Every structure is written in structure tokens, then in C-alpha cells.
Chains A and B, each alone.
Chain A
Amino acid sequence: MWHGVDDLRVETVDDPQVLNDHDVIVEVGLSTSCGSDLHLLGGYIPFMRSGDVIGHEFMGRVVEVGRAVTKHAVGDRVVVTSFISCGKCWYCRQELYSLCDNTNVNPGITEATWGQSPGGCFGYSQAVGGYAGCHAQYVRVPHADVGAFPVPEGVSDLAALFVSDSVSTGWMGADLGGVRPGDVVAVWGAGAVGQMAARAAVLLGAERVVVVDRLPERLAQVRDHVGAEVLDFTATDVIGELREMSGGRGPDVCIEAVGMEAAAHGVQGAYDMVKQQLRLQTERGAPVRDAVLSCRKGGSVFVLGVFAAVMDKFPLGALMNKGLTFRGAQMHGQRYAAMLLDRIAAGEIGTEHLATHVMPLERAPEGYRIFKEKEDGCVRAVFDPAR
């Protein structure tokens, strides 16, 4: 539960109720921290209220079903997408589920800041609906027929958990980024989303996939579990390396999977840090710049990391003059979840290695601290309410 900047607590709250006919209540089996939660902890998304339950990536068992639910029954083991979507509006019909018109109950905040409102999301601030999050024993899931997916036999809870967000988000970046057979793909960020984006690019037929990060344990996971190459941005000139690795062209598709608190070294990193701390910009987005500058002429840049508002020194000239396609999105997980569960069952995608630290929910504040500080090789801290 969020109580302020870097102030998380575990407390007893009321159980959720079925409020709409399309709801189910899920008893959480596992939930996981996510890098985007760190923006909430750091106070970079100023729409958190003390007492908000955080967490948006989870799986569990259905324990109560609303009258209009047709696809789920009590006892079903399900994984639930982090964004809540009605499945009926124009955006949902286009499979742009995170853009749902009907699920953000506080639409005015993002209409004021972004022009239009995206859909609602579990545990991710009042800006996306203020829904109670999943780091809890029970969660209410609105529009459950759209956002909850049965976990196939043979897929463990831990493997299924990451379909809730990380795997779906990563796959979306490669899919909507337009990865084709024979492409060279670069991914910034070797966290769970970056690893899954890289794995998606491999499975979609990319000839060469390169993941950029600085943490040796994460780069090792990329080599061992994803089947991609790696670059340590603290040890090399990333743009130059990528150009060399792509025959001088630059990667066909560049995927940013870091977000608004990107680590960066040198003058640029210091500049971004100072401006963010002074609230003169909201984003530290060095990987976005590098992606635009690296990408081949006519290539595609896809932003998966979470950003809030404005970024300074964006290379708009490169974007325009190189004829790039620049795109981003929160996850349209409902579009991919069933397919991804099948791929996990078939052994094409491995996810369990991401859960480097599995612990009781009572230790969630400690888990987030370890995750934030990247101590002990932490890639994801996973919480088990039953422990």
C-alpha cells in the first residue's frame, strides 16, 4: 500500500466486492513488482493517494463471479491483464485494449494532461482509474470475460504470472513495432519487459536481436534465456556498435523498454537527472534518444517504457528526416494473452527465471527496496500472499 514517496506498508483492508455484473473476484496466487511501479514509489506520477493499493501484474483463482460473467467459474485458475477493458468500444474492437473508452473512471486527469484518456489499470494511480491493485489477497476484476485468461494445464503459476503484463507488453512492442523475418532488432532495457520484447523478436523471425543494459546479471539472463546478444552501455558506444552490427544501416526496429527513470552516464545523464529533480522535465529518457538516433532510415521505434508527460532534447529532426515510424502504447494484453500462454506451454517462451525473489506479501516493502536498488541480482520481486 502506497503511503508516500518510498513509503510502502502492508495493512489489513476490507475485501473487494462484486460491484458490476461483469466482475469476478480473484484470490491472488502470485503478484509481481514492475519497473513502472518505481515511478509511483519515486513520486514521479503525482496522482497517488495515501492508502492506494498498488500492483498490476497478477494471477490467481476465481472465488466469486458476477451475474453476467460467462467465461469463468469459481475455482478457475486465471491470469489477468493489467489494463481493464470493456471489449465493446471501438478501441477494444480494434484490439487496442489499453485505450478502452469505458474503464477509466477518472478520465478528466488524463484528458487534461494528454488530450484523451486511456483505459483503467489496476493499482497504478488515480490517473488510470484509481482501481485497487493486486498486491493483496483478493482483487476485484471488472470486465473479467475480457481481461482474465485461463491458465493451461502444465503452465505453472510462476510462468503464467508474467503474461499479465511483461510478456504481453514485450510481445506488443515487437508486433506493433513491425518486426519481420530478417530484421535487426535492438531493445533497450534487460528487465522483464525488455527480455520478453527481445524473445518476441526472436520468435517473429528477427535475424539479429541485441539487448542494451548495464547490469551483468540481467544481460546474462538475456544470453541464457532469450537467445539474444547483449551490449553494456557503460562499456561501449551503443549507437556505433549497433551500426556496426547492422551492416552500417542501423537496426530495423528499436524497442525502448526502460521508462522515465533511465540510467544514463556522462553529461546527458547528469543533465536529465538535474532537470527531472527540478521538475523541469518529467522524463529521463536517454534510451529513447539513442533508439531514434540508432534506428535505420525508414525504421520503427516503439516505446514500451512508461512516461508521464514531457521530455527534453527529443531528436525530432532525426525522426522526421530519417522517415521513422514512432509509436508507443500501454499494453494491449487481451490481444496476446491466450497465444502467449500457449507459447509458454509449448516451451517457446521462458518466464520463471524473471522471478529472482519470491517472498510473502508481508515482505513486499522489502521486496520493492531490493528491486529498486537492484540488489542481489533482483529482476523481479514476486509476492505470494499464501506464504
Chain B
Amino acid sequence: MKRALTTTAVVTGTVAGTAAGTAAVRRFRAGAQAGAGALRWQVVTVLRPAGEVVVDGVPPQPLAALGDDVEVRLQPAPGDRGTELAARMRRTATPPGSGEDPREVLRTALRESKQLLEAGEVLRRDPQPQGERRSTPAGALLDAVVRRSQGWGVR
């Protein structure tokens, strides 16, 4: 994914002929590359009042760590369910590194923010006891599914 992004940006940048143009295209592609998903608001409902979700204008640490790439919005959840915490990538966001999908980065940050606010910790699972992971096509497929599933979370 990162390779595809970079290649597109460089080629287009060459056509544009300016570094500024390259950067602009890169930023645009960062948002557009994930299609509607990256630019759509991702939302979790946190069982906490709004004043505990964003404190002094600062969102929870996992979202704050994404800096200006992310836009954050709050609104009260109906029925005493707490606060709806929404976030989306800005169109000007820089492409994430290491081939990451910006939607997964965002969802992971939201999910971890919710866990920190509600449960006080981000639950870990590994390392844990396990036997030999045999190398099979089905196993490789499941490993890929699991890796991807960890980036997504409650809505």
C-alpha cells in the first residue's frame, strides 16, 4: 500500500514539476487513497462525560499522538450512554508509514482511547502460551485476517 502511494505521488509530482505539487498530491492521496473510509468519521461511544474525554482541548493520548492529521469531534450520546467520540483523517494528513491503512490507524486509536477512558488500560493479549503455528495456506490467511481485525474495533 505504501509503495503504491509513493509511486503515484512521484509520477504525478514529476508531471507537476514542483516539490510543492508533489507534497500536495501526496497529502491528497493520503486521504483519497483510503477512499471514503479515511475521510468518513469513525465513531465510538465512550461511557464517560465529554469533559473527561477531551481535557483542556486535548483528546485521549492515542488520538493526540496522531497530531494534526486527525480531526476530533464530540457530542453527548443519547440515553446516558456517555459521549460519542468521532475522528477522521484530515485531507491534508501525511501518509502513514510502514504500509499502514489510515483507517486502521484511526480505528485503533479510537478503540484504545475508549479502553483507556473506560477500563483504565489497553488490554494486551501477547505474549501468551501457544503451540506451534504450522505454516499452511489456511493458517497464513487466518493470520492475515487476525492482523487486520486488530486494527478495527467497536464503532
Contact = CB atoms under 8 A, between A and B. Distances in A.
- Range of interface residues on B (Cβ < 8 Å): 35 or more
Interface stretch (B24-32, B51-59, B110-118): B110-118
Given A22-B120, A49-B146, A102-B118, 11 more contacts: A16-B128, A49-B139, A89-B114, A101-B118, A105-B150, A111-B154, A111-B155, A116-B155, A130-B146, A131-B125, A142-B123
Interface in B124-155: 124-134, 136, 139, 142-143, 145-146, 148-155
Contact of A52 (B119, B120, B130, B145): B130
B135 to A, nearest CB: 9
A53 B146 CA distance: 16
Interface of B: 45, 47, 81-82, 111, 114-115, 118-121, 123-134, 136, 139, 142-143, 145-146, 148-155
A68 B120 contact: yes
Interface in A133-155: 136, 138, 140, 142-143
Interface in A66-101: 68, 86-90, 93, 101
A106 B123 contact: no
Given A14-B127, A19-B125, A102-B119, A116 B154 contact: yes
B131 A13 contact: yes
Contacts of B139: 49-50
Nearest to B48: A88
A140 B121 CA distance: 16
B115 to A, nearest CB: 5
B115 A136 contact: no
5 contacts: A19-B128, A47-B142, A50-B136, A51-B134, A111-B155
A14 B129 contact: yes
Contacts of A87: 119
Interface residues of A, number: 50
Most buried by A among B123, B132, B139, B142: B123
A105 B133 contact: no
A33 interface: no
A106 B131 contact: no
Nearest to A93: B47
Interface string A102-133: 11011111011000110010000010011110
B131 A102 contact: no
Given A13-B129, A50-B136, A19 B118 contact: no
A103 B151 CA distance: 14
Contacts of A101: 114, 118, 154
A1 B145 CA distance: 21
Contacts, number: 133
Given A3-B134, A15-B129, A102-B114, A126 B124 contact: no
Interface string A162-195: 0000000000000000000000000000000000
A1 B131 contact: yes
A16 B111 CA distance: 25
Contacts of B153: 107-108, 111, 117
Contact of B47 (A21, A22, A88, A112): A88
A136 B120 contact: no
Contacts of A3: 131, 134
B149 A107 contact: yes
A207 to B, nearest CB: 37
A203 B151 CA distance: 45
Contacts of B123: 20, 86, 102-103, 105, 120, 142-143
A372 B32 CA distance: 52
List 6 tightest A-B contacts by C-beta distance, closest first: A108-B149, A51-B131, A108-B152, A13-B129, A86-B119, A19-B124
